[in-house]
Amino acid sequence: MKPILPGAMLGLLGGGQLGRMFTMTAHQMGYQVTVLDSDADSPAGRIADQFICADYADQSALQQIGEQCAAVTTEFENIPADVLSTLASLSRVSPGARSVAIAQNRIAEKHFLKTHGFPVAPFAVIEQVDGEDDIKHLFPGILKVSQFGYDGKGQRPVNDEAELQAAFIEMRSVPCILEKKLPLKSEISVVLARGYDGATVSFPVVENQHVGGILDISIAPARISNRVAEQASAAAKNLVQILEYQGVLCVEFFVLEGDQLVINEIAPRPHNSGHYTIDACITSQFEQQLRALCGLPLGNAALHHPAVMVNLLGDLWQKSEPDWTQVLEEPLAKLHLYGKKEARPGRKMGHFSVLGATVDEALASANQIRQHLESN
């Protein structure tokens, strides 16, 4: 495949923070970016070379992107798969429609994983609650909508059939997955890229801590044995090969007692748990996305420093603008703000990463900065 070189226009579906960080990387490397988003003031749209404010279903907008861009990628998994197919008839598109269709729907995702022998939590597809299915073994469980859930939204804990019924109605009776609630020892993820030539490059396994279903901090490298890290990376690599995936993908894992690994979900794009790569790896997940999209050789993904990434949610802004002095004074900390105007509770407004000589050092420093931010 002929590589797409700097100067070319790249198309990006979605204008959120992942798209903004992709656009910043593309600019650094001399590419131009056209962003499509229905929000007139999106983080990526604001810094794009060209911004098309339209819905994903807008055929003339898709035509424009497809004709003007040398290649098109996405920062958002809820792009209808037929939009990617339409674009693929006009331009180079990665990731492909099939992979995105699987990753955007929990039912398709679970079936794909199970069919290919990847370990998943015990689950049942819930399309109606009629008391017929034998689902007692799944309690206590979590009811998750099959589509459009994120950051723990579209999920309810359920302890019995009555609660399941109530939660299902609360979800407006859309197709759901009921998943057994597992005792998690920890959570980890693997962000990796697969290029046009089929080569794969994995970032180091990262450890993730969630609060209220939202990623709170990521610790790289994960504090797990080499054996578990190798198993997770091998599973992620196997998965992208089976999907014949092109681009950057994240696999989220649960680690259970006895170091048993279970795949939680996959995301067909760079991932919040990969933000540490910007400051702590030789190549960032966004550069890797660009390299895979443009048919360039993938970059070296090695970690040059242990790092901790802390998400900054809108809650921090509730009283006033946070006091940035400490994060700016720490020489090993890097602040990233996404330029979102409205700071709603739970909304991802930015993050900071702290490097350290060791994970413990980075963690101590990150905790200190966060305490300072929260105390204001």
What does the binding site for ligand ADP look like in residue numbers (CB under 6 A)? Answer: 121, 142, 144, 149-152, 179, 181-182, 184, 187, 210, 213, 252, 264-265
The C-alpha atoms of residue 150 and residue 156 are separated, in whole angstroms, by 13
Q: Which is nearer to ligand ADP, 154 or 195 (CB)?
A: 154
With respect to ligand ADP, which residue has the nearer C-beta, 252 or 287? 252
Question: CB of 179: closest distance to ligand ADP in angstroms?
Answer: 4
Check: CB of residue 31 under 8 Å from CB of residue 9.
yes
Residue 48 or 143: the one with the smaller Cβ distance to ligand ADP is 143
For ligand ADP, the closer CB: 264 or 289: 264
- By C-beta, is 252 or 279 nearer to ligand ADP? 252
Q: Shortest gap between Cβ of 330 and ligand ADP (angstroms)?
A: 28
Residue that has been written with the tokens 């910043």 in this structure: 24
Query: How far is residue 347's CA from residue 272's CA, in Å, rounded to a whole number?
Result: 13
Q: Which helix (H) or strand (E) holds 194?
A: strand 186-194
**Cβ neighbours around 180 below 10 Å, total:** 15
| Contact between 269 and 247 (Cβ < 8 Å) | yes
- Are β-strands 9-13 and 71-74 bridged in parallel, bridged antiparallel, or unpaired? parallel
Output 23 or 218, the one with its CB closest to ligand ADP: 218
Structure tokens at 87: 């674009």
CA distance 231 to 202: 12
Per the CB < 8 A criterion, the answer to whether 304 and 214 are in contact is no
Least distance CB 144 / ligand ADP (angstroms): 6
Q: Measured from the CB of residue 236, what is the shortest distance to ligand ADP in angstroms?
A: 15
Minimum distance from residue 324 beta carbon to ligand ADP (Å): 28
Closest CA to 109 of 175, 208, 167: 175
Q: Which two tokens stand for residue 375?
A: 């105390």
Minimum CB distance to ligand ADP, residue 191 (Å): 14
DSSP 6: T
For ligand ADP, the closer CB: 179 or 207: 179
Q: How far is the CB of 104 from ligand ADP (least distance, A)?
A: 11
Residue number, 144 or 340, with CB nearest to ligand ADP: 144
* Sign of the torsion angle spanned by Cα atoms 285, 287, 291, 296: negative
Contacts of 167 (CB under 8 A, 6+ apart): 143, 156, 158
Q: Which DSSP state fits 281?
A: B
Nearest residue to 129 via CA among 96, 167, 157, 99 = 167
Nearest Cα residue to 218 out of 264, 282, 278: 278
Residue 32 vs 208, nearer CB to ligand ADP: 208
Write down the least CB distance from residue 266 to ligand ADP, Å: 10
Distance CA 256, CA 325 (A): 39
Closest contact distance (angstroms) between CB of 142 and ligand ADP is 5
* Separation of alpha carbons 21 and 16, rounded Å: 9
